[in-house]
A and B are shown apart, each in its own frame.
Chain A
């Protein structure tokens, strides 16, 4: 566990460092954004002094690093609000979107993968495979755009195709505004998860324990459920862990498409406006989010795997 935490810290540090130096290498000074493009050199210089941009690069890096380590992410250049406050407004939305999407697609994928494996090489199996592979291949932002077109233009009023409704103001509307984005965001997850489970269950036929189960005359249902399915959950969980990261990346696309004010949207907006403190904060928190998701899946994996579980308990 300690080792993992250390690895996480190192990764975060690398991300932060890269982002910092890339920003300083980028053309144009952030000072222009504050005073405007037609400001005099003297004005620019004074703002740069104020922001500490006149100091040597390494000093700036050290100051920034120290600040962030104490939890101070600075203020947004555009809104003037603290970055942490902006992030706290956006984070729950991305989190909720991802969770809803997972809760919708993962159970479906588990059922589909299991049924397909049990009825291998039947039309049902083929259907699951084709739908699964299509769901992986469809570019999410394109499908999302088509859905916006469909529900926005041809089926107006059925489901909202854009925007966000807060839970407090309208619970039903809130859920309805989540339907399309959550559907598109997790679609690929469905295919990958179902495929992994299916393949793993089919391959479990070759394992010694399934063979022994057959040799002892266990009913087919018992073998499918308790041996093949239960053991196939392990590789499937590992894959879902990787998918959560993919979904976070996907949320950048989906939030922009459906106009949801989440982290992904914040990131794109802050980059467009060259609001660097906000961009750094958003990148870092997405990276933390990503690493935490991996950690949670690792713990889940351990819970499913007694061997790993004991190692966790032991240390």
Chain B
């Protein structure tokens, strides 16, 4: 008996985002734990704490059972202020990274698909220009000048937080797009894409169905890192006094207040909000590394 197998078009292999039966490194577990702590604090913290704007204790009192993180110079509970600040920080980070992704993914995949031709040239030149501007400085100037007030983009009113979100999203977009473009370029060369094209599947379908799924892993890694950057940027802008404005507490704003009372020995005032920032940036960093390792090995 003879067996002659016809050459079938093999589609895939698709990289799985969830990789089964693979040991996850300890560092990644720590990353997940830290990010969870931060998210839990931001989501549930403000629900169970006292009003962060009201005086509930003595000014500059150290950590105690009543005030876990101590109190600030006005006797407000630091834990509730930090929790409220964490919520602002999460919102800014998630929304800005989300907006960045929404813009960057289609553009990056498009640039990669048309690599070397005019859509690619156009998209990448614009992003290059954005990347040559010192964006943190620019953000500071923009926020400093336009100030606390909201401004109008046509019919849409953009609040101070909205401005921060937009600026971070603009900064992140070129990086996301670059990663998406590179991943698309690599994917395009894979045989199954050309096989699909040979089968007569339309361009648009190839991009939508196959590419998006395969480009996502490296973009997820990049998103984790940009979550950390966004958390830092929101904190830094708040620290300089051009972030989300009082009375809303922000992590950076609390640290800025704290620097004025440090010489009074109120170490907790400065340490606690920064620790929350640190938990978030280290956590997202480790998560990004972990995702990288996991997806990298999944490729082989």
Contact = CB atoms under 8 A, between A and B. Distances in A.
Contacts of B116: none
Interface stretch (A48-56, A95-103, A217-225, A266-274): A266-274
Interface residues of A, number: 47
A303 to B, nearest CB: 21
A47 to B, nearest CB: 20
Contacts of B271: 146
B259 A139 contact: no
A139 B133 contact: no
A284 to B, nearest CB: 10
Contact of B278 (A7, A18, A26, A139): A139
A142 to B, nearest CB: 4
Interface residues of B, number: 45
Interface in A130-159: 133-134, 136-139, 141-143, 145-146, 148-149, 152-153
Contacts of B277: 139, 142
A26 B147 contact: yes
B168 interface: no
Interface stretch (A65-73, A85-93, A168-176, A252-260): A252-260
B134 A249 contact: yes
B278 A287 contact: no
Contacts of B242: 271
Contacts of B114: none
B149, B259, B263, B265: residue with the most chain A Cβ atoms closer than 10 Å: B259
A150 to B, nearest CB: 9
A294 interface: yes
B136 interface: yes
B140 A153 contact: no
Nearest to B242: A271
A133 B133 contact: no
Given A248-B134, A267-B140, A153 B263 contact: yes
Interface string B250-288: 001001001100110101001101100110011001100
B285 A142 contact: no
Most buried by B among A23, A139, A267: A139
22 contacts: A7-B128, A7-B132, A25-B151, A137-B278, A137-B285, A139-B236, A139-B277, A142-B235, A145-B270, A148-B259, A149-B267, A153-B263, A246-B136, A249-B135, A257-B259, A267-B137, A271-B141, A271-B242, A279-B141, A283-B138, A291-B132, A294-B132
